[in-house]
């Protein structure tokens, strides 16, 4: 499914089917290419795996109207034909009544498939711009039941969400408001969110202290009260118990590709295309400067070309670090590519090597007389007044750089859903040394 507040559509479908079907694994919230020009906000799709009956081993994944929702880990439970038809009817009815078909940027769609199309299709949709014909061909080939509304582009995300097999993954616990509160001001206590953030180290992107931004609360008038992201579903449940808020109507834990950097592709500058997201290494050839609106720009070069990089005004304090770069520094830029002019919109940067910077401390000393020479004028060198000896170089001293090598990221208030926070990157490099856990 894709479009509108898609997670709420999934929540409603779960409510309708939970007595007659098994939910297999966690529902999936899959974010797609954040740079496609016609995207809905957040560009996400939802996927539910549904089986015949409940298995024995069950895992709690949420609560709807006081009733516990569980999923089964068993993936081998096939639906009968009448169960499939019934399920298709429920999905169609829910998407048509709940997806915001009237919203001009929303293009809902749903897809039912008995087998997973290749994982490649997910990678294509999260990293590039895919055309509709390609997905329709794929759906025919796999005998899908599907329906696309308006420009039908929702089918692309919905199909990609089915194809996704988590390589890296995170979870999000989403809470929903009772219907009568939708569209009204949300009450979520900011201080309790800060406490929760400090107490549960496996959660991320909760609260931006520097910019006073409570990131778990959405800005749109959707049914969501808040969403907490993290690496451990059990910890998310405990974390949400710490958050003081208005009453919650229901909650669900989703497995997601948020915070994984799945959208980024390592490229050389000549391979960079608009609407994609890249990791590219280059040398700073034009140092950072600030333009009107507070945006900071600089230019990098590799053996294949030159490209502009930008830290836009909403990236706030991140710009302070960017302004400290100098010509000759080697950096790895991470970000989405805008078309006119071709620019990398920075999500983070890895400063790999800093050039030594020098400052003039005094005029050169005459080797014969031992006295300081005098300047002959701007860029014209120095001359000894006593004996006439000339020199072009003043006495220089290495200047301490105000930035150190390493990663810098935009603040939480400017973070994209797919961007991997440094907090996760650091933890993963530690875990990689010990071994990894099972896929969800």
- Residue 84 has a CB neighbour count (10 Å cut-off) of 15
Angstrom distance (rounded) from CA 312 to CA 126: 23
Residue whose CB is less far from Zn ion, 67 or 386 = 386
Residue whose CB is less far from Zn ion, 369 or 431 = 369
Say if strands 224-230 and 213-214 run parallel, antiparallel, or are unpaired.
Answer: unpaired
Residue whose CB is less far from Zn ion, 297 or 365 = 365
Angstrom distance (rounded) from CA 270 to CA 23: 46
Q: How far is the CB of 378 from Zn ion (least distance, A)?
A: 22
Q: How far is the CB of 376 from Zn ion (least distance, A)?
A: 14
Q: Cβ distance 122 to 163 under 8 Å?
A: yes
Q: How far is the CB of 371 from Zn ion (least distance, A)?
A: 6
Q: How far is the CB of 373 from Zn ion (least distance, A)?
A: 7
Residue whose CB is less far from Zn ion, 165 or 362 = 362
Residue whose CB is less far from Zn ion, 365 or 422 = 365
Q: How far is the CB of 369 from Zn ion (least distance, A)?
A: 3
Residue whose CB is less far from Zn ion, 151 or 368 = 368
The tokens describing 282, both together, are 């280059």
Q: Cβ distance 278 to 272 under 8 Å?
A: yes
Residue whose CB is less far from Zn ion, 63 or 365 = 365
Which neighbouring-strand residues pair with 23?
Answer: 50
Residue whose CB is less far from Zn ion, 101 or 365 = 365
Angstrom distance (rounded) from CA 188 to CA 214: 9
Residue whose CB is less far from Zn ion, 300 or 366 = 366
Q: How far is the CB of 392 from Zn ion (least distance, A)?
A: 15
* Nearest of 167, 169, 128 to residue 257 by alpha carbon: 169
Which neighbouring-strand residues pair with 358?
Answer: 398
Residue whose CB is less far from Zn ion, 215 or 383 = 383
Q: How far is the CB of 380 from Zn ion (least distance, A)?
A: 18
Which neighbouring-strand residues pair with 310?
Answer: 297, 345
Q: How far is the CB of 306 from Zn ion (least distance, A)?
A: 45
Angstrom distance (rounded) from CA 13 to CA 116: 20
Q: How far is the CB of 414 from Zn ion (least distance, A)?
A: 58
Task: Point out which residues bind Zn ion (CB under 5 A).
Answer: 366, 368-369, 384, 386-387, 389
Q: How far is the CB of 359 from Zn ion (least distance, A)?
A: 25
């Amino acid at each position: 499914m894709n479009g509108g507040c898609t997670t709420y559509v999934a929540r409603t479908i779960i409510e309708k089917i939970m007595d007659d079907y098994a939910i297999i694994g966690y529902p999936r919230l899959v974010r797609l290419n954040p740079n496609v020009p016609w995207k809905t906000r957040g560009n996400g799709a939802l996927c539910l795996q549904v089986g015949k009956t409940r298995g024995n081993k069950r895992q709690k994944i949420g609560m709807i109207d006081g009733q516990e929702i569980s999923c089964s880990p068993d993936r081998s439970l096939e639906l009968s034909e009448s169960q499939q038809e019934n399920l298709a009817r429920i999905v169609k009815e829910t998407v048509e009544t709940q997806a915001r078909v009237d919203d001009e940027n929303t293009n809902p769609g749903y897809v039912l498939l008995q087998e997973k199309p290749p994982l490649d299709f997910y990678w294509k949709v999260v990293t590039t711009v895919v055309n509709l014909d390609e997905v329709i061909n794929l759906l025919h080939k796999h005998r899908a039941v599907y329906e696309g509304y308006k420009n039908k582009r929702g089918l692309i995300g919905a199909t990609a969400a089915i194809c996704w097999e988590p390589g890296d993954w995170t979870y999000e616990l989403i809470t929903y408001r009772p219907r009568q509160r939708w569209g009204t001001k949300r009450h979520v206590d900011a201080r309790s969110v800060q406490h929760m953030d400090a107490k549960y180290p496996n959660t991320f992107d909760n609260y931006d202290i520097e910019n006073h931004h409570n990131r778990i609360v959405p800005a749109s008038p959707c049914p969501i009260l808040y969403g907490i992201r993290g690496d451990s579903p059990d910890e998310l449940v405990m974390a949400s118990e710490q958050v003081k808020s208005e009453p919650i109507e229901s909650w669900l834990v989703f497995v997601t590709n948020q915070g994984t950097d799945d959208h980024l592709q390592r490229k050389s500058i000549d391979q960079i295309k608009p609407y994609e997201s890249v990791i590219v290494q280059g040398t700073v050839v034009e140092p950072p400067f600030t333009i009107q609106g507070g945006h900071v720009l600089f230019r990098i070069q590799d053996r294949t070309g030159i490209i502009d990089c930008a830290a836009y005004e909403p990236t706030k304090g991140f710009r302070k670090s960017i302004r400290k770069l100098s010509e000759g520094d080697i950096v790895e830029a991470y970000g989405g590519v805008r078309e006119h002019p071709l620019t990398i919109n920075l999500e983070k940067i890895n400063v790999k090597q800093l050039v030594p910077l020098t400052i003039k401390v005094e005029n050169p000393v005459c080797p014969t007389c031992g006295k300081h020479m005098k300047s002959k004028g701007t860029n014209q060198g120095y001359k000894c007044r006593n004996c006439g000896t000339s020199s072009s170089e003043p006495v220089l001293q290495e200047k301490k750089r105000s930035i150190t090598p390493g990663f810098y990221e935009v603040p939480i208030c400017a973070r994209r859903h797919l961007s991997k926070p440094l907090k996760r990157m650091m933890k993963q490099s530690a875990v990689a040394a010990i071994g990894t856990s099972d896929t969800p």
